[in-house]
Structures are given as C-alpha cells and as structure tokens.
Amino acid sequence: MIESAAFLDEAAARGLRFYTGVPCSYLTPLINGVASSRSLSYVGAASEGEAVAIAAGAWLAGQDTVVMCQNSGLGNAVNPLTSLNHPFRIPTLLICTWRGEPGRKDEPQHTLMGRITPDLLRTIAVPQGVFPRTDAEIGPALDAAFAAMHEGTPFALVMHEGSVSPTALDEPRRAPHAPGHFEDNRENGDRPARAAVLERLLAVIPGDAAVVATTGKCGRELFTLADREQHIYQVGSMGCATGMGLGVALHTPRRVVVLDGDGAALMKLGTLATVGAYRPGGLVHVLLDNGVHDSTGGQATSSPGVDFPAVALACGYRAAFASDDVLGFERAFRAALATEGPVLLHVRIRPGSMETLGRPTVAPHEVARRFRAFLARPMQAQEHAAHGRAA
C-alpha cells in the first residue's frame, strides 16, 4: 500500500498535473489527494466518457493528463477511447479500478466486468499494467505508461483494492458555477436526510405504484427501510434509473416513481430530454440532491450550479417542483401524484446516510422477476383510471 502523495508527487515530477474522472471507493485517496492539492487540477466529470473527452481537450491544449474511473464505468469510456483517442493518437494515463476482481468478494454488479476488465482493455488496444502497491513500483509503472503514451496511445494502470492508503480531503473544492436564482442558501445541516425523505415517501406512496431506485445508498436505504415487491433496486448501471423508469412507464398504467440522485442524473442528463419527448403520464421523477457522490467518499458533483426543475421543464416535463424539507417534499409529492406526468420533484438533502445501512439481500435477478410479476398483476379499476399514462 502506498500513500497518495507518493504517487502524485512522482507523477507531477513527470508532468502529470491534470486529473479528471468519476469516483470509485478505491480511488477516493487519490481523488482526495488531487483535490486537496493547490498544484494539481481535478475536474469531476459526469461520466467516464466525458472524462476521456475532457482529458483529450486538455492534451490538445498542452497538458499531460490522467483519467480515473471504476472498471464498471469503463464501458462508458470505450467509445471515446476507441473513436477519439485512437484515431487522433491522443495519449492519457487511465487509472482504472478492478472491482469484481476474480477471487475477491464484491457486489453482484461487478462480477462480469471484474472478470473481463483485462481482456476488454486488450480488445480496445489499450496497453495496461498494475497500479503500484509499493513505493518501489511507482517509477517503473509510470515509465511503462509514458513509453506507451509516447506512441500516442492511452495506458491503463489497473488498481487493486487497498493499493492506496486513506487520504483525507482537506478542503473540498466544488465545481465553479455562476450563482443563480436556483442556488440553495440553506446550510446542509438544515436539509433533511435521505432516509427521512424516503420514510415519508413510503408512508404516502400508493400500493399500486412502481418504484425504481437508483444505485448506491438510495436503493440501499430504501431496502433497509422497507423491502416491497413494488421496488426494484438498481445495482451498478449508474445513471440508468430514469431510462429504466421511462421504459416501465411507457408500458404500464401504474404510477412509476423514479428515485434518482444528482450524480446519477448528471451522468445521463440527456435522458430527461427523452422523457420529455415521450411524456409518459404516470412518471414521477424524484431527484434526491445532496451535491456529492455519497457512496464513494463524498466527492462533490456539479449539482449546485444546476437548476434541475428548469432543465426538466425545458426538456418537456409537464411540471416540476422543488423542496428542501420533509413536509415540503410530502406536499410536492402528493401534488406530483395528482398531476399528469412526467413530473420532476427536486429535493435538496444533506450528505450522509443511515448509520445502520444494509444491502439488498435478495439477488438482483430475483428482484427483477418479482418486480416484473408485480407490474403484470392487474390493477384495481379506480387506480387504473387515476394513473393511466398519456402520450
């Protein structure tokens, strides 16, 4: 195990001062080290593919670059790595974590990508090495990376769990943005916890409504509070809850409630435009916004500069609400249920999660089939009339 400063200092001595990427818990020490440094730059990207593009632009402007991501997000980066970096011969150092590494216990969403990560990198012609785990390995690892990058190709350092010792984040630096009327001036501590909002939702949601919960702590908290057949908990597939909810809403008369997060929504923000184009009348999109990637150590997202209700309305949602307390959320949620969708409900919450936080104990494929059976069951006539979808 190495200290983040040992790697960052040696990388900086070789000219690597610009970093971008999407967090992973394995990467938290490195991201914290970069974000705390006054001599290094870190741009938190909304998706891994975006990070590759940002790094390509920075290289064109004269910077040597590093892209950091989880291997589950490597799929998002395959297109720009193969259709941007390869034809333009743009190098970058890719630090890719190895979640689901064979022989190590991990969550089910990492199993397949963990097995194929080295082969995938070979398939897309990205040479690779092992991220250093001792100080003596840092120089040789960077030498190998620079030799490949000198030829105009990305080089991947694949990071095992526990390669870097924990590093505190001295002063979190948020994405710069121009303050606007949507800026929330309340302190984080005055906002509700995610669990409090979910508890209120569970108390008032119709029993015939379907709930699609985004990956990370949102789905874990929902499962911990109440496991119901009307719930599906995403594991992995960050950013896909809204798309999944749209697919459900277009094929059921039920109300469909998507529980989203700011980081996940930003990753695939274009989905709001698709929702607005197809306008499923039964869709209620609840965006729980704490301004950070909570599952990977609290790295800041760019959500403080985003007026999500305005974005939703501009994309074609029929209505949008905003709230920053539990009572306001309940009023807005009840109003959303009574409003022809799609409807966005933006809820500012504070970072953090339940002290005792479990994980779904039902296998993902079992949750999916239980949820599918729930959707297939006939609704009561009055519910069908109240929640029928509209094009």
Comparing 248 with 110, the larger pLDDT belongs to: 248
Which pLDDT value is given to residue 240? 84
User: Residue 349 corresponds to which tokens in the numbers above?
Assistant: 């919450």
Strand segments, DSSP code E, in 179-328 are 210-213, 231-233, 256-261, 283-289, 292-293, 299-300, 319-323
User: Residue 95 corresponds to which tokens in the numbers above?
Assistant: 């630090």
Q: What are phi and psi of 87, to 5 degrees?
A: -65, -30
DSSP letter, residue 164: B
Q: Are the CB atoms for 74 and 123 separated by under 8 Å?
A: no
Cis peptide before 364 (omega within 30 of 0): no
Residue 196 has pLDDT above 80, yes or no: yes
Which pLDDT band, with edges at 50, 70 and 90, does 229 fall under?
Answer: very high
Query: Amino acid identity, residue 76?
Result: N
Task: Identify the CA nearest to 159 among candidates 111, 217, 105, 93.
Answer: 93
CATH class of 4-159: alpha beta
What is the 3-class SS of 22-88, one letter each residue? CCCHHHHHHHHHHHHCCCCEEEECCCHHHHHHHHHHHHHCCCEEEEEECHHHHHHHHHHHHHHHHHH
How far is it, in rounded angstroms, from Cα 282 to Cα 387? 6
Residue 291 CB coordination number (10 Å): 23
Which pLDDT band, with edges at 50, 70 and 90, does 381 fall under?
Answer: very low
Residue 172 has pLDDT above 50, yes or no: no
Task: Identify the CA nearest to 160 among candidates 139, 141, 176, 184.
Answer: 141
Mean per-residue pLDDT for 231-260?
A: 91
Q: Are the CB atoms for 271 and 250 separated by under 8 Å?
A: no
Residue range 51-109, pLDDT digits in tens:
999 999 999 988 999 999 999 889 899 999 999 999 999 999 999 999 888 888 888 78
Average pLDDT, rounded, for the chain: 88
Which pLDDT band, with edges at 50, 70 and 90, does 269 fall under?
Answer: very high
Residues 6+ apart with CB under 8 A from 154: 67, 81, 85, 90, 91, 92, 93, 94, 126, 148
CATH 3.40.50.970 domain extents, the chain: 4-159, 188-387
Which pLDDT band, with edges at 50, 70 and 90, does 272 fall under?
Answer: very high
Task: Identify the CA nearest to 76 among candidates 248, 236, 301, 308.
Answer: 236
Which pLDDT value is given to residue 171? 56
* Topology adopted by domain 188-387: Rossmann fold (3.40.50)
Beta bridge partners of 65: 18
User: Residue 61 corresponds to which tokens in the numbers above?
Assistant: 């402007």
Residue 389 has pLDDT above 70, yes or no: no
> Any idea which residue has 């120089």 for tokens?
139
Which pLDDT value is given to residue 203? 96
Which pLDDT value is given to residue 335? 96
Q: Are the CB atoms for 24 and 159 separated by under 8 Å?
A: no
Residue range 101-142, pLDDT digits in tens:
888 888 878 888 889 999 999 999 999 999 999 999 999 999
Q: Are the CB atoms for 42 and 36 separated by under 8 Å?
A: no
Q: What percent of the chain has pLDDT over 90?
A: 66
pTM: 0.79
Which pLDDT band, with edges at 50, 70 and 90, does 380 fall under?
Answer: confident
